[in-house]
Amino acid sequence: MTLDPDLKSRILQAVEDGFAEQVSFTQQLVQTPSLRGHEHAIQDLLFRNLQSRGYAMDRFKMDRAAIEAHPGGSKYSDDHSDAPIVVGIHRPRDERGRSLILQSHLDVVPEGLHDMWDDPPFSAKIDGDWMYGRGAGDMKAGAAANIFALDALRRIGLQPAATVYVQSVVEEESTGNGALQTFLQGYTADTVFIPEPEEEMLVRANTGVIWFQVQVRGVPVHVREMGEGANAIDAATRVITALREMEEDWNAEKGDHPHFEDEAHPINLNIGKIEGGDWASSVPSWCNIDCRVSIYPGRSAEDAAREITERVKAFAQSDNFLSNNPPKVVFNGFHAEGYVLEPGSEAEAVLERAHEDAIGAPLQSFMTAGYLDTRVYALYNQIPALCYGPKSRNIHGINESVSLSSVKKITQAMALFIAEWCGTEDIAP
């Protein structure tokens, strides 16, 4: 049932009335650094804020054995976070509506060189319409929106007439295991809503992702005798060329994948880290290259990993040195498949109405080549997975920022969505 026009107006105004507090809380989140493995403080902050609102609380750690046994689990490494997952639970007096998961992640990527930023990366400085800082867009503004969209209903004496789970996870930027653990913990609902920074659009299709490392060994000698040795760094650069050929081959297949055929370059291989050698005057004996590559929805991560391994092996066999010193491929992080949000769900229809009321334009959808936690809910919970959020700039880059006017509109759309999807009831009995 669509919302009454008067109720719509009251909800929109309620978000407006609470927005200054929402901005302040978002700043607090950005000012709390939460790099991989250091998310404990911010998860405690989320826990306290949800608890203070009267939600039933759950907090749990990841089950390594269960994750590694699941086909959607990514590889653990020494860097894997041990920070807890936090869930705030709203239960209505009378379960009449449809249940909902509001999810966010609070881990952020490294900030890069600080002297490249105009202001310190965790300052949460506001300049005009933009809040700056690592994680401002991806996705601390969205984490705050999850809470304040519900607060808007409370401000006018209403609450969802269905169960709502507010989930805050970690390991989104590196494995996706945090979201998977919520599934393994038994959490599910009729739909999930994740307000990632998606330019006020709905993600229709999302690539999967694989992390891997290629380990190359050389033959060390003094530089005066270079011709008698083998430079592992030089050899690694030749492997990179072969991987680039694989990337282009995968992109050439885009016509076989709906939602990707019109993208210029949907499959991206990133050489994210190179380490090698020990001394400028010694031919290096080792070089490791850390890579990330996307894969089309519908292709298994295992199949893609197998092709990566075979490509490196085939190239090595054609290389004079590597044929006798084959590189090793190690899968050391993301191992996640993509998904497609099929059109026509009632959840999408409700979001379309909420978006148009808040934004004033029809909802658009698009494909994104970055990882999203929605893959867990789409593939394993098998529920409509809505990824939709505010405008941002430079996520994962220098001077990352989020548009506050867009955050307000997105929060309004979220509050309207919750009210229609879950239904509402008076807080007071």
Residues 134 and 189 in one domain: yes
Say which range, 198-207, 213-222, 395-404, 408-417, has the weakest mean pLDDT: 213-222
Say which range, 20-24, 60-64, 367-371, has the weakest mean pLDDT: 367-371
Reply yes or no on whether the pLDDT at 221 is more than 70.
no
Residues 278 and 222 in one domain: yes
Decide if 156 contacts 11 (C-beta within 8 A). Answer: yes
- At residue 370, the pLDDT reads 87
Residues 329 and 229 in one domain: yes
- At residue 219, the pLDDT reads 83
Residues 88 and 169 in one domain: yes
Mean per-residue pLDDT of the chain: 96
Residues 257 and 351 in one domain: no
Instruction: Identify the band that residue 360 occupies on the pLDDT scale cut at 50, 70 and 90.
Output: very high
- Using alpha carbons, select from 22, 306, 301 the residue that is nearest to residue 148: 22
Residues 406 and 296 in one domain: no
Reply yes or no on whether the pLDDT at 215 is more than 70.
yes
Identify the domain containing residue 288 by its residue range.
Answer: 208-336
SS3 336: strand
Reply yes or no on whether the pLDDT at 379 is more than 80.
yes
What is the longest distance spanned by two Cα atoms in the chain? Answer: 86
Q: Domain boundary at 273, 306, 336, which?
A: 336
Q: Which two tokens stand for residue 418?
A: 């919750």
Task: Give the chain's end-to-end CA distance (angstroms, integer).
Answer: 23
Decide if 423 contacts 160 (C-beta within 8 A). Answer: yes
Q: Which two tokens stand for residue 154?
A: 């409370």
Instruction: Identify the band that residue 222 occupies on the pLDDT scale cut at 50, 70 and 90.
Output: low
Domain count, the chain: 2
Reply yes or no on whether the pLDDT at 226 is more than 70.
no
Q: How many CB atoms lie within 10 A of CB 348?
A: 19
Residues 122 and 191 in one domain: yes
Residues 188 and 330 in one domain: no
Instruction: Identify the band that residue 1 occupies on the pLDDT scale cut at 50, 70 and 90.
Output: confident
This prediction has a pTM of: 0.95
Residues 54 and 105 in one domain: yes
Residues 176 and 238 in one domain: no
- Tell me the residue ranges of DSSP E strands in 116-175: 126-127, 130-132, 158-160, 164-169
Q: Which two tokens stand for residue 148?
A: 């304040």
Encode pLDDT of 38-66 as tens digits.
999 999 999 999 999 999 999 999 999 99
- At residue 414, the pLDDT reads 99
SS3 406: helix
- At residue 46, the pLDDT reads 98
- At residue 228, the pLDDT reads 60
Reply yes or no on whether the pLDDT at 420 is more than 80.
yes
- At residue 56, the pLDDT reads 98
Q: Domain boundary at 336, 368, 391, which?
A: 336
Tell me the one-letter amino acid at 224.
Answer: R
**Alpha-carbon span 429 to 426, nearest angstrom:** 7
Residues 181 and 54 in one domain: yes
Q: Domain boundary at 314, 336, 358, which?
A: 336
- At residue 220, the pLDDT reads 63
Say which range, 36-45, 266-275, 277-286, has the weakest mean pLDDT: 277-286
Residues 417 and 309 in one domain: no
- At residue 366, the pLDDT reads 94
Encode pLDDT of 132-185 as tens digits.
999 999 999 999 999 999 999 999 999 999 999 999 999 999 999 999 999 999
CATH number at residue 387: 3.40.630.10
CATH number at residue 227: 3.30.70.360
- At residue 275, the pLDDT reads 97
- At residue 159, the pLDDT reads 98
